[in-house]
Amino acid sequence: MIRGFHKVGRVDRGFLMAGGDAVPDGTRIGAQLRAARLAARMSMAEVAEQAGLTKGFVSKLERDLANVSVASLIRLCDALGISPGSLFQAPKGEVVRRDARPRINFGGRKMTEYLLTPAGEKRVQTILSEIEPGGGSGKEPYALPAGVEFVFILAGQLQVTVAGERMVLEEGDALTFTADMEHTFVVPPRAGRARVLWVLSPALPDHGLELPTDDIS
């Protein structure tokens, strides 16, 4: 018989996942569940409702303070759109080499952008932008489906407008703001080329975004 957890927030060594792989004893899954929920842009209440559980129970699971049956765990994974086995994969580092950075395009003008974090990473996303003078996101403000956005100016100058407030960032300056606030950015026409590091948490959805691409005057 398939068995569930016999310790708080831990998996019994008798629990078997699909494929016959045994889950190591003492595995904690709270942090993985929370990361998967944030990546799915779901609240605890939404996950609980879809999984047929209570919000309080989901909260305890994310803090490794509750036992869970196999059936409930499978429903949770279905609600989050992940496989149960992904909760028990040992974390490992993944290198993105300088000469192998994937080039991406989220719109905008006179920009070249590269993804620095692994494509499958959902907890955080880091993008390197190289922006020519006069280049940027476009005139129309946009918002991103993420929790927080961090901007660091590696070189040059960048003008950022967040919720109607305009500010000029110089090399070495950093800005943190809520990603779903409407914002725009542009390199002043008389400034030099800018190199900008963007960090988003959690990562943007895999299906990408439809950002404005109109010219900046």
Are residues 27 and 118 both part of a single domain?
no
Paired residues of 194 in beta bridges: 131
Q: What is the CATH number of the domain that holds 53?
A: 1.10.260.40
Total domain count for the chain? 2
pLDDT digits (tens, 9 = 90+) for 194-213: 999 999 998 887 644 433 33
Model confidence pLDDT, tens digit, residues 76-88? 989 988 887 777 6
194 and 103, same structural domain?
yes
- Is residue 103 one of the residues assigned to a domain? yes
Start-to-end CA distance of the chain, whole Å, equals: 68
* In-domain check, residue 79: yes
Domain that holds residue 77: 1-92
Q: How confident is the model at residue 13, as a pLDDT?
A: 33
Question: So what's the pLDDT on residue 211?
Answer: 35
195 CB-near residues (< 8 Å, 6+ apart): 128, 129, 130, 131, 153, 154, 155, 156
Query: Domain check: are 85 and 113 in the same one?
Result: no
pTM: 0.61
Contact present, 22 and 51 (Cβ < 8 Å): no
Per-residue pLDDT tens over the stretch 127-176 = 999 999 999 999 899 999 889 999 999 999 999 999 999 999 999 999 99
- At 9-56, the pLDDT tens digits run 333 333 333 333 333 334 577 888 888 888 788 899 999 999 999 999
Q: Are residues 53 and 85 in the same domain?
A: yes
Of 50, 75, 92, the residue that ends a domain is 92
Q: CATH number for the domain including 174?
A: 2.60.120.10
Q: Is residue 216 situated within a structural domain?
A: no
- Identity of the residue numbered 173: D
pLDDT beyond 50 at 1: no
Pairing assessment for the beta strands 165-170 and 194-201 based on DSSP bridges = unpaired
Residues 71 and 104 in one domain: no
